[in-house]
A and B are shown apart, each in its own frame.
Chain A
Amino acid sequence: GENVEQHPSTLSVQEGDSAVIKCTYSDSASNYFPWYKQELGKGPQLIIDIRSNVGEKKDQRIAVTLNKTAKHFSLHITETQPEDSAVYFCAATSRTGNQFYFGTGTSLTVIP
């Protein structure tokens, strides 16, 4: 099955700085890559996603890039704010497209 690796596992940044989280995947058939933010005690919430026919997508302070050849994708958060502090999970769809494989998560702390 698909194997998704995510780095770093923890990340601390000063408020206003940028944060970058990277994921790699193993199955070249994966074609949908969502990023989820999970705050303490809550369920994961989709923050941005990208499909395999697109190289980059941006939504205000959040952007995702995808390199299909290298099989990696990254989340970029600019001008970080304390409310960005949470655990972030990347995911990739399975070859059959009927389930996600999640990365191991990145705990982001934004220091005011």
Chain B
Amino acid sequence: DTEVTQTPKHLVMGMTNKKSLKCEQHMGHRAMYWYKQKAKKPPELMFVYSYEKLSINESVPSRFSPECPNSSLLNLHLHALQPEDSALYLCASSQGQVLDTEAFFGQGTRLTVV
């Protein structure tokens, strides 16, 4: 199983809503990532979890709150988002903290903030 599964695939939320994005992998990977991707742009790193601990937070606004309940799961909690937060949110995982092997990406959650 080389899959990273993200749910939901699509999400429309209002600016006062609270929602969560979920990501799951069963490859035994110990590093997991959240990326944000705008149209026609490369993925931008948001957060890195290594061995279930937050190791990188790329100055992401507090309206995005990551959580890593266990080594297979990664959540991104969303609250009071802005329309400019509309984007494709990608989860990825890799074997270890050092990126010298393949990182697998999920299919993403297409988020629209209205």
Residues of B within 8 A of A (CB-CB), count: 27
Bound Cα distance A32, B45 (Å): 17
> B108 and A43: CB pair below 8 A?
yes
> B48 and A98: CB pair below 8 A?
yes
- Report the minimal beta-carbon distance from A78 to chain B, rounded to whole angstroms: 23
Bound Cα distance A102, B31 (Å): 18
Chain B residue, CB-CB nearest to A105: B42
Which B residues, 79 to 114, have Cβ-Cβ distances below 8 Å to chain A?
A: 90, 97-108, 110
A89-B42, A98-B55, A98-B56 given; A44·B90 CB < 8 A: yes
Bound Cα distance A51, B101 (Å): 9
A43-B105, A105-B40 given; A98·B100 CB < 8 A: no
A positions within 8 Å CB-CB of B: 31-32, 34, 36, 41-46, 49, 51, 87, 89, 93-94, 97-100, 102-105, 107
